[in-house]
Amino acid sequence: MEDFFTALSQHAFLQTAVATAMLASIGCGVMGTYVVVKRIAFIAGGIAHSVLGGMGAALYFGFEPLHGALPAAIAAALLIGWVRLHWHAQEDTLISALWAIGMAVGVLFIAKAPGYQADLMSYLFGNILLVPSESLWLMVTLDLVLLVIVAAYHRQFLAVVFDEEFARLRGVPVGFFYLLLLVLVAVTVVLLIQVVGLILVLALLTLPAAVAGHYVHSLGRMMLIATLLGAVLSITGLALSYGPDLPVGPTIILLVGGVYILSAMLTQFLERRRARLAAAQGARQGAAVE
Amino acid sequence: MSPVIDIRSLNFAYGRVPTLSGIDLQVAEGEFLGIVGPNAGGKSTLLKLILGLLQPQSGSIRVLDCAASAASRLLGYVPQYPSFPRDFPVTVEQVVQLGRLSLDQNGRQRDGKWHALWPGRVSSTDRRAVHRALAEVEAGDISKRQIGSLSGGQLQRVLLARALVGEPRILILDEPTANIDQRMESEIFDLLKALNTRMSILVVSHDVAFISRYVSRVACVNQTLVCHNTDAIDGHVIQEVYGQHVRMIAHGH
């Protein structure tokens, strides 16, 4: 760990990596909270994995893969959202089909990409150490767009996430805000792909928010705690992986997953204990009455 | 004066199954209408058509002189089952605030083409209205509670407050007392009776005998719709709606 902090003060690529982790955490905390409470992790997974199609296409046609990721993520979000809104039958099957088709298209494009054979692994599992510092500006912009939209429409988002039918009756255009929410999830996926790659993105998107949900009970607080947790855990993962030269993405995910499982167990334990104490208290009161 | 709800020769089917056939119903301003009928007879479907959540295959449905889907913001709706997960991290106050979504800071309905895209802030008018609505349903003391911690009766009151806070002209309730005990049932209907002085009310119930003490007219829905004035309800009518084999208990009003 000490090595890491010494190296951090010397190497620009490590400073970029830490900045990437922090910027990604904002999206992870804010949109992850919506994904967790709306229970759309499966939809988010579909969006994340179909992004490979866009990255592959960009590579094939000679663009920067990340520039293909953003439009692909948004297209996947709109397509999957449309399926969810208008195609009620077999929604889960259709989403898994889009999930797999997106990946298949990506792998084919990457296999046939001319010239330099790209490293598939780095798209699938990410490499935060290779993020170019120019990407930071793109990430700052995406974070700002996301925060401005969520700040402006948090009531509409709450209405749609909490109770779609009631939102529709209050005149909220549910379809529009649902798709907007998925597009913002797509933007977040692109931010997080730089940190952990598209296979592991789902864990980083949902687990910090789920841990926050164990302890706080409002969307705003969940967002704040999940953002801080995401930042702390991904930077810790980066630091832990640095000394023994481990791949960063999987290290971060193991850390996040471990924290989630411990937290879920702790919550369960505390709840049982509370129930036991309440039952004991009830029994004492009952005895006192007799 | 034109009726607040005007339904003419309406037909509705889910897939190939006809659910409602040849429905005619006019509800006058200030009316307290009970809707009864057997399970799967189309009561909730009729409410969803009035709310504009479903479109009829044929026939017309006008609510407050508009198409049903355009009028939904002027209605208050209390669903039979809450359509949200009970463990959602949200307080009673925040839930009721959602009922103010289409209103501006002066409490007027927003209109214009882009009204729905107006970024939302909760104004002080909204806060006062939420406070008032919760007080009206006697739930002022639980405004800071998580919805997951409420009992069935408390949740029902909160859903009623959410419907009232938007100052509806018509209040529509689907089996509001299905999951709560009888004492609470009377309390809720007494409250509805008081609300009836300022808005029209439609309430679906399975208990004809109970609601006939409160409502002015009963609509019996079993694919078709027949209306009865409350004083004309007897065993014959009940059997006509529910078919044979109805257990009845005589009761005096």
Written out in words, the top-level CATH class of the domain with range B5-242 is alpha beta
In which band, very low, low, confident or very high, does the pLDDT at B250 lie, cut at 50, 70 and 90?
Answer: very low
The angle subtended at Cα A241 by Cα A237 and Cα A244, nearest 5°, is 160
Q: 3-class SS at B77?
A: strand
Q: What is the pLDDT, as a whole number, of residue B242?
A: 59
Q: Is the pLDDT of residue B228 over 90?
A: no
Q: What is the pLDDT, as a whole number, of residue A101?
A: 93
Which of A159, A164, A218 minimises the CB distance to B101?
A: A159
For the CA atoms of chain A, what is the radius of gyration?
A: 21
In angstroms, rounded to a whole number, what is the distance separating the alpha carbons of residues A10 and A21? 18
| A162 shares contact with chain B (CB less than 8 Å) | yes
- Name residues whose C-beta falls within 8 Å of residue A274's C-beta, 6 or more positions apart in sequence: none
Q: Is the pLDDT of residue A153 over 70?
A: yes
Nearest to B236 by CA among B246, B224, B251, B221: B246
Nearest to B246 by CA among B202, B209, B205: B209
Element (H, E) at B171: strand B170-174
Residue B208, token pair as written in the block: 């004809």
pLDDT 10s digits, A238-263: 999 988 889 888 999 999 999 999 99
**Residue ranges covered by each domain of chain B:** 5-242
CB contact under 8 A, A165 and B95: no
CA atoms in the 13 A half-sphere facing the CB of A249: 22
Report CA-CA distances (Å) from B122 to B48, B61, B98. 28, 33, 9
Which of B99, B116, B146 minimises the CB distance to A173?
A: B116
Helices (H) and strands (E) in chain B, counts: 8, 10
Query: Which chain B residues touch A216 with a CB distance below 8 Å?
Result: 89
Q: What is the pLDDT, as a whole number, of residue B123?
A: 84
pLDDT 10s digits, A218-240: 999 999 999 999 999 999 999 99
DSSP-derived pairing of the beta strands B75-78 and B170-174: parallel
Partnered with residue B60 across adjacent β-strands are B8
In angstroms, rounded to a whole number, what is the distance separating the alpha carbons of residues A178 and A57? 27
Mean pLDDT of chain A: 89
In which band, very low, low, confident or very high, does the pLDDT at B165 lie, cut at 50, 70 and 90?
Answer: very high
Q: What is the pLDDT, as a whole number, of residue B215?
A: 86
The one-letter code for the residue type at B131 is: H
The architecture in CATH of the region A2-289 reads Orthogonal Bundle (1.10)
CB contact under 8 A, A169 and B77: yes
CB contact under 8 A, A37 and B95: no
In angstroms, rounded to a whole number, what is the distance separating the alpha carbons of residues B89 and B115? 28
In angstroms, rounded to a whole number, what is the distance separating the alpha carbons of residues B96 and B131? 9
Nearest to B158 by CA among B72, B89, B74, B98: B98
